[in-house]
């Protein structure tokens, strides 16, 4: 074995060179590869790699200095002095200090590892080592030659072992995080690095020096360097894959954001169009003008339609009419007239069916609910191009019209997209609600104007009635009373001269007074017949018909049927009597009739009143039109309708020119109304 010891001793410088080369190369490789590792979840390891590289470079430099000293010793040159020994020990201490800081970087929270606290710890450890070396130098002052050896031993025990164990612990801590992140191979490499570092710290720093020890240290350094470089390579590859995955996710996110932005842009455009349509309909002078402007905006904003029309239903008879149209007659060709005819028929069909109706160029049509995607796709998938499509306008499940969008000419070839289809559904809903709001607003305005006109008519009627009462009191009753007063004055003189003449005058005065009393009674009856209060509605109507027939010479007939013994409530009786009065007044003024039939039916739940004549009749819609001049407006009919409405009933006017007229009133009776009226009486 002497030859082996001799061989190892002679080649100990080569072992130092090998160890230094391993450590130095590891440091260089860690520096170059560490700069390319930028994985975010492992940023602490990436930031700590330069410290481990510094440990390798400094430790390699220390081994090479040791190698140079061994070579100088073998060739018989002078041994290094105290200064060189101190520098060598300082390099060793700095290498271990870099390893310790590497461990701190991994073990401490990132906020602390990046703060000034870590720098203070580094400075404190370095200062403690310097003070320890000075203490060793002072203690060993008589023997300065052994001081460098003591300083090196102190460095290995005080810094080397703690740094190696701390570094191994930090790598083990890091590999647990990597294992949780499914980086199994990288975590295994770090476990091997920790094992080599622990052995290097415990055995490599405590066994002293010598050729076998240097060889052992070189082997440990090689193992640590191999697994560390391999771990870093794996780290780099996985970081690259992770980066590529992150870039791919970023690309997908960018595409998704672009898609969302595009959808948001389209949705904003759609909402802006709906708002614009609402403003157009709300601010227009007339409904037709607003609908035409809305159609133009729709055609301008959408791709498919080049023309369009809106059809509405009349509440009176349910007929469908075109309220607005645009785009069809731009050039005046026959094809355009054909398209307009198609569109009108399509819109009316959509109103009647309450469904979406689409027509293709070959004449094939489809009907389907707006939310039926299967039939919608069948319509869109038809081989022949889609020419026109009509959507119903519904408010509270009631169809009030339709909107039809079409090509302007048969030469067009613009398809209808799903997005525009869904948008048109929203447009149809918005237009329907806007139309309903406009109609309600117009009805409110018309009703307000009507109430104002009715108030004026009521005031005028009151004044006319007062004038009539005053005129009749003055012309008839007043003259009779004046004659009676004059006759009484004459009787005073006649009694003195001719008693028989006085008796005849008294009899004449009696006749005058009786006539005056009858005239007063007639006047009172015209204002409110006593029969209504004493005998009820049927008797009052019978009396009034007799008076009407006597006054105007028009034959009358009255039919009364009742399923109740009790009288109607007083409010119902006076209101229904006024309706009969108003209806008969209209007959006398306008109908030129020869017969009038009045029917009154009373059940426990309702009252039915009918006044029918055989006059020349009239057009109901024309007479009740708000466009009629004030003098020709059907105020009598309107008063009848309003009186029926006050009782919670309804009035129907049925008439045609040359076919007479019938006024039919239905009034509901509240529960127990007849019982309460009977108790009241």
The whole model's pTM is what?
Answer: 0.48
Which tens digits make up the pLDDT trace of 502-534? 777 777 777 777 777 777 776 666 666 777 777
Residue 186: pLDDT band by 50, 70, 90 thresholds? low
Average pLDDT of the residues of the chain: 76
Residues 6+ apart with CB under 8 A from 577: 529, 532, 537, 540, 541, 544
Judged by average pLDDT, the poorest of 187-191, 238-242, 278-282 is 238-242
Instruction: Tell which wins on pLDDT, 234 or 342.
Output: 342
Mean pLDDT score, 42-48: 65
C-alpha 196/C-alpha 201 separation (Å) is 8
State how far the alpha carbon of 78 is from the alpha carbons of 71, 143, 497, in Å. 11, 19, 192
C-alpha 8/C-alpha 212 separation (Å) is 7
The structural domains of the chain, with segments of one domain joined by +, span 2-237, 284-416, 440-527, 534-681
State residue 325's pLDDT score: 87
Which tens digits make up the pLDDT trace of 263-301? 887 787 777 777 887 787 777 767 788 888 888 888 888
Query: In CATH, which superfamily holds the domain spanning 284-416?
Result: GAF domain (3.30.450.40)
Task: Please determine, for residue 171, whether its predicted confidence score (pLDDT) is greater than 70.
Answer: yes
State residue 630's pLDDT score: 47
Task: Please determine, for residue 413, whether its predicted confidence score (pLDDT) is greater than 90.
Answer: no
Mean pLDDT score, 397-405: 89
Domain 534-681 in this protein, CATH class: alpha beta
Which tens digits make up the pLDDT trace of 436-446? 888 888 778 87
State residue 19's pLDDT score: 77
C-alpha 556/C-alpha 598 separation (Å) is 8
Mean pLDDT score, 492-504: 73
Which tens digits make up the pLDDT trace of 63-122? 787 777 777 766 666 556 666 777 777 788 888 888 888 888 877 765 454 555 556 666
State residue 419's pLDDT score: 81
Instruction: Tell which wins on pLDDT, 654 or 305.
Output: 654
**Percent of all residues in the chain with a pLDDT value above 90, rounded to a whole number:** 8
State residue 142's pLDDT score: 47
C-alpha 576/C-alpha 580 separation (Å) is 6
What the block records as the tokens of 486 is: 């004059």
State residue 141's pLDDT score: 46
C-alpha 123/C-alpha 367 separation (Å) is 86
State residue 596's pLDDT score: 95
Residue 501: pLDDT band by 50, 70, 90 thresholds? confident
Task: Please determine, for residue 320, whether its predicted confidence score (pLDDT) is greater than 60.
Answer: yes
State residue 681's pLDDT score: 45
CATH number of 2-237: 1.20.1070.10
Residue 675: pLDDT band by 50, 70, 90 thresholds? very low
Task: Please determine, for residue 558, whether its predicted confidence score (pLDDT) is greater than 90.
Answer: yes
State residue 631's pLDDT score: 45
C-alpha 639/C-alpha 633 separation (Å) is 11
Residue 568: pLDDT band by 50, 70, 90 thresholds? confident
Which tens digits make up the pLDDT trace of 586-637? 898 888 899 999 999 999 899 999 999 999 888 887 777 654 544 444 667 8
Residues 6+ apart with CB under 8 A from 140: 146, 147, 150
State residue 625's pLDDT score: 66
State residue 561's pLDDT score: 92
Positive or negative, the Cα torsion across 27, 30, 34, 36?
positive
């Amino acid at each position: 074995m002497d030859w082996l010891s001799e061989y190892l001793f002679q080649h100990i410088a080569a072992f130092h060179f090998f160890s230094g080369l391993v450590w130095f190369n590891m440091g260089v490789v860690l520096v170059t590869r560490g700069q390319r590792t930028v994985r975010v979840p492992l940023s602490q390891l990436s930031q700590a790699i330069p410290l481990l590289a510094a440990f390798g470079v400094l430790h390699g430099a220390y081994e090479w200095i040791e190698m140079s000293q061994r070579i100088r010793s073998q060739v018989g040159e002078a041994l290094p002095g105290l200064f060189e020994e101190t520098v060598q020990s300082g390099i060793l201490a700095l290498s271990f200090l870099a390893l310790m800081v590497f461990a701190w970087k991994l073990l401490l929270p990132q906020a602390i590892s990046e703060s000034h606290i870590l720098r203070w710890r580094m400075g404190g450890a370095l200062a403690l080592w310097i003070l320890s070396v000075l203490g060793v130098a002072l203690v060993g002052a008589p023997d300065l030659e052994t001081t460098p050896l003591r300083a090196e031993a102190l460095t290995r025990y005080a810094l080397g072992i703690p740094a190696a164990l701390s570094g191994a612990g930090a790598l083990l801590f890091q590999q647990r995080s990597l294992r949780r992140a499914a980086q199994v191979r990288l975590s295994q490499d770090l476990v091997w690095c920790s094992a080599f570092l622990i052995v290097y710290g415990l055995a490599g720093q405590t066994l002293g020096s010598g050729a076998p020890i240097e060889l052992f240290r070189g082997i440990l350094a090689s193992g640590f360097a191999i697994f560390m470089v391999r771990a870093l390579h794996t780290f780099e590859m996985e970081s690259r894959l992770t980066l590529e995955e992150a870039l791919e996710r970023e690309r997908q996110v960018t595409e998704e954001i672009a898609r969302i932005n595009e959808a948001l842009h389209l949705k904003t455009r759609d909402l802006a169009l709906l708002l614009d349509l609402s403003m157009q309909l709300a601010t227009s002078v007339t409904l037709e003008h607003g609908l035409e402007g809305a159609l133009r905006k729709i055609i301008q904003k959408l791709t498919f339609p080049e023309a369009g029309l809106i059809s509405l239903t009349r509440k009176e008879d349910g007929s469908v009419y075109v309220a607005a149209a645009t785009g069809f007659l731009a050039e005046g060709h026959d094809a355009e007239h054909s398209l307009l005819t198609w569109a009108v028929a399509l819109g009316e069909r959509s109103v009647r069916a309450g469904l979406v109706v689409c027509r293709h160029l070959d004449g094939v049509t489809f009907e389907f609910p707006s939310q039926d995607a299967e039939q919608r796709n069948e319509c869109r998938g038809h081989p022949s191009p889609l020419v026109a499509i009509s959507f119903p306008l519904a408010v509270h499940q009631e169809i009030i019209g339709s909107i039809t969008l079409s090509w302007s000419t048969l030469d067009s070839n613009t398809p209808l997209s799903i997005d525009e289809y869904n948008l048109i559904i929203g447009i149809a809903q918005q237009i329907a609600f806007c139309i309903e709001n406009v109609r309600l607003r117009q009805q409110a305005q018309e009703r307000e104007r009507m109430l104002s006109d009715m108030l004026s008519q009521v005031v005028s009627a009151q004044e006319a009635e007062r004038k009539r009462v005053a005129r009749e009191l003055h012309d008839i009753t007043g003259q009779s009373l004046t004659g009676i007063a004059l006759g009484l004055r004459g009787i005073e003189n006649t009694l003195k001269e001719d008693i028989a003449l006085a008796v005849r005058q008294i009899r004449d005065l009696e006749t005058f007074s009786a006539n005056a009393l009858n005239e007063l009674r007639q006047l009172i009856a015209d204002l409110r017949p006593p029969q209504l209060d004493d005998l009820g509605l049927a008797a009052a109507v019978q009396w009034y018909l007799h008076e009407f027939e006597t006054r105007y010479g028009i034959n009358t007939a009255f039919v009364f049927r009742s399923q109740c013994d009790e009288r109607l409530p007083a409010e119902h009786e006076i209101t229904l009597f006024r309706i009969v009065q108003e209806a008969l007044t209209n007959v006398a003024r306008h109908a030129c009739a020869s017969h009038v039939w009045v029917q009154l039916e009373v059940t426990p739940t309702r009252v039915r009143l009918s006044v029918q004549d055989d006059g020349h009749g009239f057009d109901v819609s024309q007479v009740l039109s708000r466009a009629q001049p004030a003098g020709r407006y059907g105020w009598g009919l309107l008063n009848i309708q309003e009186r029926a409405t006050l009782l919670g009933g309804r009035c129907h006017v049925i008439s045609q020119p040359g076919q007479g007229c019938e006024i039919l009133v239905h009034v509901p009776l509240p529960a127990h109304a007849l019982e309460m009226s009977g108790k009241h009486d």
